[in-house]
Amino acid sequence: MNSSGYQPRILIAGAGIGGLACALALHANGFRNVVLLESAPAIERVGVGINVQPAAVAELSLVGLGEDFERSGIRTSAIAYLDEAGRQHRSEPRGTAAGHRFPQYSLHRGDLQAMLLYAVRDRLGPESVIGGARVIAFHDWGSGVTVRLASALSTGVEEISGDILIGADGIHSNVRRQLHPGAMDVRSGGLQMFRGVTELPSFFDGETMIVANDPSKRRLIAYPISARHARQGRALVNWVCMIPDELLPPSPSTASLEPASPREIRAQYAGWSMGAFDLQALLAGSAKVMRQTMVDRPPLPWWGQGRVTLLGDAAHLMYPVGAHGGSQAIVDGFVLAETLAASASLVDALRDYETRRQPATGNIAQANRDRDAAERSLASTAGADKAAEIERITRTYNAVAEQSSRSG
Task: Label residue 79 left, alpha or beta by phi (over 0 means left) and psi (-120 to 50 means alpha).
Answer: beta
User: Taking Cα atoms as reference points, which of 259, 352, 358 lies closest to residue 302?
Assistant: 358
Tell me the mean pLDDT in the region 198-214.
96
Query: Among 257, 240, 399, 402, which residue's Cα sits nearest to residue 331?
Result: 402
Confidence of residue 155 (pLDDT cuts 50, 70, 90): very low
Q: In terms of DSSP H, where are the helices of 214-318? A: 227-231, 262-268, 279-284, 313-316
Contact 193, 62 (CB under 8 A): no
Give the pLDDT confidence score for residue 268 in this predicted structure.
95
Q: How many other CB atoms are found less than 10 A from the CB of residue 255?
A: 18
Over the stretch 301-333, which tens digit does the pLDDT of each residue have?
A: 999 999 999 999 999 999 988 888 899 999 999
**pLDDT band, very low/low/confident/very high, at 407 (cuts 50, 70, 90):** very low
- What CA–CA distance (Å, rounded) separates 9 from 140? 14
User: By three-state DSSP, how is residue 200 classified?
Assistant: strand
End-to-end C-alpha distance for the chain, whole angstroms: 26
pLDDT attached to residue 345: 97
Which is it for the CA torsion 206, 81, 329, 153, positive or negative? negative
**Helix, strand, coil percentages for the chain (3-state, nearest 5):** 40, 25, 35
Beta bridge partners of 161: 146
Look at residue 365 in the predicted model and tell me its pLDDT.
95
Secondary structure element (H or E) that encloses residue 396, with its range: helix 386-404
- In 170-248, which residue ranges form alpha helices assigned H by DSSP? 174-179, 227-231
**What's the pLDDT band for 403 if we cut at 50, 70, 90?**
confident
User: In b/e form, how buried is each residue of 280-317, taking b as 16+ CB within 10 angstroms?
Assistant: eebbebbeebbbbbbbbbebbeebbebbbbbbbbbbbb
The lowest-confidence range among 2-16, 56-70, 153-167, 221-235 is 153-167
Q: Residue 223 contacts by C-beta under 8 Å, 6 or more apart in sequence?
A: 49, 51, 74, 76, 106, 203, 208, 209, 210, 237, 238
The pLDDT mean for the chain works out to: 93
Residues 341-346, mean pLDDT to the nearest whole number: 97
* Cα–Cα dist 265/228, whole Å: 28
Distance from the Cα of residue 315 to its chain's centroid = 12
pLDDT band at 270; cut points 50, 70, 90: very high
* Mean pLDDT calculated for residue range 32-61: 91
